[in-house]
Amino acid sequence: MNDVLIVLTNCPDPESARRIALHLVEQRMAACVNQLAPVQSTYRWNGTVESAVEVPLLIKCTRESYPLVEHAVRELHPYEVPEVIALPLAAGYAPYLRWVADESRAPRSA
Protein backbone atom coordinates (compact mmCIF):
# COMPACT_ATOMS: atom_id res chain seq x y z
CA MET A 1 0.00 0.00 0.00
CA ASN A 2 1.20 3.49 -0.86
CA ASP A 3 1.68 5.51 2.31
CA VAL A 4 3.12 8.66 0.74
CA LEU A 5 1.29 11.94 1.40
CA ILE A 6 1.56 15.43 -0.02
CA VAL A 7 1.04 17.97 2.74
CA LEU A 8 0.07 21.53 1.82
CA THR A 9 0.69 24.68 3.78
CA ASN A 10 0.88 28.36 2.87
CA CYS A 11 3.38 30.72 4.49
CA PRO A 12 3.22 34.50 4.75
CA ASP A 13 6.72 35.04 3.32
CA PRO A 14 9.64 33.22 1.64
CA GLU A 15 11.76 33.21 4.80
CA SER A 16 9.23 31.36 6.96
CA ALA A 17 8.64 28.94 4.05
CA ARG A 18 12.41 28.26 3.78
CA ARG A 19 12.74 27.80 7.54
CA ILE A 20 9.93 25.23 7.67
CA ALA A 21 11.15 23.37 4.55
CA LEU A 22 14.73 23.15 5.80
CA HIS A 23 13.67 21.92 9.23
CA LEU A 24 11.42 19.19 7.83
CA VAL A 25 14.08 17.84 5.48
CA GLU A 26 17.00 18.18 7.92
CA GLN A 27 15.03 16.29 10.59
CA ARG A 28 14.02 13.61 8.05
CA MET A 29 10.32 14.25 8.60
CA ALA A 30 9.92 14.85 4.85
CA ALA A 31 11.90 13.68 1.85
CA CYS A 32 11.35 16.85 -0.15
CA VAL A 33 9.61 20.19 0.19
CA ASN A 34 8.77 22.31 -2.87
CA GLN A 35 8.51 26.04 -2.25
CA LEU A 36 6.24 27.38 -4.96
CA ALA A 37 5.84 30.84 -6.43
CA PRO A 38 3.77 33.25 -4.36
CA VAL A 39 -0.01 33.06 -4.77
CA GLN A 40 -2.82 35.44 -3.97
CA SER A 41 -5.11 33.94 -1.33
CA THR A 42 -8.58 35.18 -0.43
CA TYR A 43 -10.18 33.85 2.74
CA ARG A 44 -12.50 34.64 5.61
CA TRP A 45 -10.77 35.16 8.97
CA ASN A 46 -12.54 36.30 12.15
CA GLY A 47 -15.63 37.28 10.17
CA THR A 48 -13.77 39.43 7.62
CA VAL A 49 -12.85 38.61 4.03
CA GLU A 50 -9.12 39.14 3.64
CA SER A 51 -6.53 38.78 0.90
CA ALA A 52 -2.82 38.10 1.16
CA VAL A 53 0.15 36.96 -0.88
CA GLU A 54 1.34 33.58 0.44
CA VAL A 55 4.12 31.11 -0.38
CA PRO A 56 2.83 27.53 -0.82
CA LEU A 57 4.81 24.50 0.30
CA LEU A 58 4.29 20.96 -1.04
CA ILE A 59 5.70 18.57 1.55
CA LYS A 60 6.34 14.92 0.59
CA CYS A 61 6.25 12.57 3.57
CA THR A 62 4.68 9.33 4.76
CA ARG A 63 1.61 8.65 6.86
CA GLU A 64 3.95 7.56 9.64
CA SER A 65 5.86 10.85 9.64
CA TYR A 66 2.76 13.03 9.17
CA PRO A 67 2.18 13.67 12.91
CA LEU A 68 5.77 14.95 13.21
CA VAL A 69 5.32 17.13 10.12
CA GLU A 70 2.07 18.60 11.42
CA HIS A 71 3.59 19.31 14.82
CA ALA A 72 6.68 20.97 13.30
CA VAL A 73 4.62 23.13 10.94
CA ARG A 74 2.37 24.24 13.81
CA GLU A 75 5.39 25.09 15.97
CA LEU A 76 7.38 26.94 13.27
CA HIS A 77 4.54 28.64 11.40
CA PRO A 78 3.78 32.27 12.28
CA TYR A 79 0.02 31.93 11.70
CA GLU A 80 -2.29 31.31 14.64
CA VAL A 81 -4.03 28.56 12.64
CA PRO A 82 -1.80 27.41 9.79
CA GLU A 83 -3.17 25.38 6.93
CA VAL A 84 -1.89 21.80 7.20
CA ILE A 85 -3.69 19.50 4.76
CA ALA A 86 -2.50 16.00 3.84
CA LEU A 87 -3.52 14.45 0.53
CA PRO A 88 -3.02 10.75 -0.22
CA LEU A 89 -1.53 9.72 -3.55
CA ALA A 90 -3.61 7.50 -5.81
CA ALA A 91 -0.53 6.32 -7.72
CA GLY A 92 3.10 7.18 -8.33
CA TYR A 93 6.39 5.98 -9.73
CA ALA A 94 7.45 3.17 -7.37
CA PRO A 95 11.15 4.10 -7.12
CA TYR A 96 10.22 7.70 -6.24
CA LEU A 97 7.70 6.57 -3.63
CA ARG A 98 10.32 4.27 -2.06
CA TRP A 99 12.76 7.20 -1.96
CA VAL A 100 10.18 9.38 -0.17
CA ALA A 101 9.54 6.60 2.34
CA ASP A 102 13.27 6.03 2.91
CA GLU A 103 14.04 9.73 3.37
CA SER A 104 11.05 10.40 5.66
CA ARG A 105 12.24 8.22 8.49
CA ALA A 106 12.80 10.65 11.33
CA PRO A 107 14.96 9.22 14.11
CA ARG A 108 12.89 8.09 17.06
CA SER A 109 13.51 9.64 20.46
CA ALA A 110 15.15 7.37 23.05
pLDDT (tens digit per residue) in 25-83: 999 999 999 999 999 999 999 999 999 999 999 999 999 999 999 999 999 999 999 99
pLDDT score for 2 = 77
The CA-atom distances, in angstroms, between 72 and each of 26, 77, 95, 107 are: 12, 8, 27, 14
Residues 6+ apart with CB under 8 A from 53: 38, 39, 40, 41
Closest Cα to residue 23, out of 72, 85, 74?
72
Nearest to 73 by CA among 17, 26, 5: 17
Query: 39 and 54 in contact (C-beta within 8 Å)?
Result: yes
110 pLDDT above the threshold of 70: no
Q: What is the pTM of this model?
A: 0.92
Q: Rounded to 5 degrees, what angle do the CA atoms 22, 3, 67 make?
A: 50
